[in-house]
Structure 1
Amino acid sequence: MNPLILITLGATLLACVFVILGLQAYAAGRAQRAALIERLSASGMPEPLGRRRRFQGVDRRLRKTKLGRRIELKLAVTGLDLTAGEFFVYMLAAVAGIWMISASFFAPFFGPVAGLIGLWAANAFLNWQRARRTERFINQLPDLARILANATQAGLALRTALGIAAEELEAPAGEELARVTDRLAVGHSIEDALGEIAERLPSRELVVLVSTLVLSNRAGGAIVDSLRNLTITLEQRKETRREIRTQLSQVTATAYLVPVLGIGSLLLVDAMMPGALDRMTGSFIGQTAVLIALGLFAVGFVFIRRLSRIDV
């Protein structure tokens, strides 16, 4: 018999053996899992809380990379109920969808450009979620300072006052303070536990509050009077930030209107002259002109956003 046929038959039989062994191992694992669930149900133990995570294999592999650790850190700051693997898969699906839609509506040249914009938009979404969570936390700082002042005036320790504030306040302040109380329970100092909040949600108001609490806990002093004065100051800064945001709302809308006008003009040109975008992006000069135009729209958006950013 031909040696090549023998090798092929041997490899096929070996593959079948491995398939059978794999199926047996999979069936045994499923049976063990079912038996474990049955024993836990019979013992009356509660079912695990939280939703079932998707793409666990992708998440495990992604966490080993630098990109995965960076995504996980940003997700922890934003407070989103997503794993790094879930966000990565959703981001790739969104980028692929934007790529296909742009290539269909405009021209094939716009597919990769839209994909890059989609990647930038995913990172911008995480930054926006972080800024939004920070803003919500800042708005809760007057209530936090008031609760801490009342608790310390009643004779409670600062650790106990932080625990009461974690129970009374809603997210994100309640969640962040719950982390602080958990770290205090395992032996971390107040300075380290509060300093982590200032690193995750950076703001001037939070830095002032953390500094007041740390100094009062370290050196003593009239913490009640300091917290009450800080509460009044935080209320005034909150109102000032709200007025500034209202005054700059038109400028912010203009910043987002600039790229919308650019995309709308491309759609208008293609509607008036069907195939114009294909002919325009079919040459190197046309592609260069389109990239320069998109870059100018992006520069205009960034400049308007920078000019409308006022630190209070």
Structure 2
Amino acid sequence: MIFVVSLISTIFILIILILMLEYRSRSRRALARRMRYYASGMDNPQDKPKESKTLSERLRGLLRSGGQLLSNIRHARGLDLKMQQAGIPLLGAEFMILLVFSAVLVTVIVAVVSKKLHIGIMAAILTVAVEYIYVLLRIDRRSASFTNQLGDCLMMIANALRAGFSFLQAVELISKEMEPPISDEFKHVVRDIGLGNTVERALNDMDRRVGSSDFSLVVTAVLIQQQVGGDLARILDTISETIQDRIRMRREVKTLTSQGRMSGWILVLLPIGIGLFLTSMDPNYLDPLFKEPIGQMILAGVIVMEIIGAIVINRIVDIDV
């Protein structure tokens, strides 16, 4: 009975939340239509044909409306930077709403299917963890792509400076000619400067978003050159060669440590594979590990040692270059 009441209450709260977000989204759309009416000089705001919105656009509108409610939360503001670093077009508050909504939805579905509330809660925690890990993986992948493009980017800026371009013109050239993610970041810099920010602040903001030690060196060199003068093209050529050497060294280290990383994966996956194989051969073979107190203690010790071994191997093969 308690489970049924909690399930109905959860669904009721979700419905109220969706209705509130939809109401706020409609108000924002009405305001946008009025602004377009006065900006375009139409005879009647109703004369403009209604735009058909896809499901994804409606969901994004709901996320925006909900994000306004959580925009002042400190953790939401901290997630804004991670969203920018991952290249995800969401605010931190919108991502928090997405996490909460997916957690509640998974909890309800799994709890209804399994008829056990604690299993639904565990599935929701796993879902939130997977989504957050996905964001971290996107940040790592985007940062690696940015670093790999940085050497060519600096060479292009140096050549543009030698051809008579100013630094801002060279930055705008990069934003148009190169591929993402580095072009997206320099577009952000051009937009910030166009809105009135100084070059120093725009570059520092980009450095904070990117989080690359190589680009920090570039920002420092550019800012010092603007204060004391000098041949910026030659400085960028030297930094570009240094970055290319570091990228080459990272690849060599990654190749040399591939055996250790493979050993770590085998260490983690081999016991799981053996357990699945034994269970497929005899479903009752591993019952003592899960049902007997001694077996549960052994299983907990094995999991702890697996985690410790994976961490130690990761520390050994993770060489900072």
| TM-score in terms of structure 1 length | 0.72
**1:52 counterpart residue number:** 57
In the TM superposition, residue 215 of structure 1 has moved relative to its aligned partner by 0.9
1:117-162 CA-to-partner distances (Å, cap 9, x unmatched) read 6554443332222111111101111111112112222222212221
**1:75 counterpart residue number:** 83
Q: Distance in 1 between matches of 2:56 and 2:193?
A: 28
Q: What amino acid sits opposite 1:79 in the alignment?
A: G
Aligned residues: 280
Contact (CA 8 Å) 2:221, 2:235: kept in 1 or not?
yes
Q: Distance in 2 between matches of 1:178 and 1:250?
A: 40
Once superposed, what is the RMSD of the aligned Cα atoms? 4.1
Q: What amino acid sits opposite 1:84 in the alignment?
A: F
Question: Is 1:252–2:261 an aligned residue pair?
Answer: yes
Q: Percent identity?
A: 24
In the alignment, structure 2 segments of 5+ residues that lack a partner are: 1-18, 38-43
Which 10-residue stretch deviates more, 242-251 or 44-53? 44-53
1:44-93 CA-to-partner distances (Å, cap 9, x unmatched) read 99999995152526555555545544444322211124540575158638
Q: What amino acid sits opposite 1:77 in the alignment?
A: Q
Residue 291 of structure 2 aligns to a residue whose secondary structure is: coil
Question: Is 1:157–2:166 an aligned residue pair?
Answer: yes
Poorly superposed stretches of 4+, deviation over 6 Å? 37-41, 44-50, 108-115
1:203-241 CA-to-partner distances (Å, cap 9, x unmatched) read 221111111111111221111111122222222222222
**2:95 counterpart residue number:** 84
Q: Distance in 2 between matches of 1:147 and 1:44?
A: 46
Residue 170 of structure 1 aligns to a residue whose secondary structure is: coil
In the alignment, structure 1 segments of 5+ residues that lack a partner are: 1-21
Question: Is 1:281–2:286 an aligned residue pair?
Answer: no
Bigger Cα Rg: 1
Contact (CA 8 Å) 1:149, 1:227: kept in 2 or not?
yes
Contact (CA 8 Å) 2:106, 2:120: kept in 1 or not?
no
**2:203 counterpart residue number:** 194
In the TM superposition, residue 270 of structure 1 has moved relative to its aligned partner by 2.5
Q: Distance in 2 between matches of 1:68 and 1:227?
A: 37
Q: Distance in 2 between matches of 1:65 and 1:154?
A: 48
Matches within 5 A, 1:266-277: 266-277=275-286
| TM-score in terms of structure 2 length | 0.70
Contact (CA 8 Å) 1:153, 1:224: kept in 2 or not?
yes
**1:141 counterpart residue number:** 150
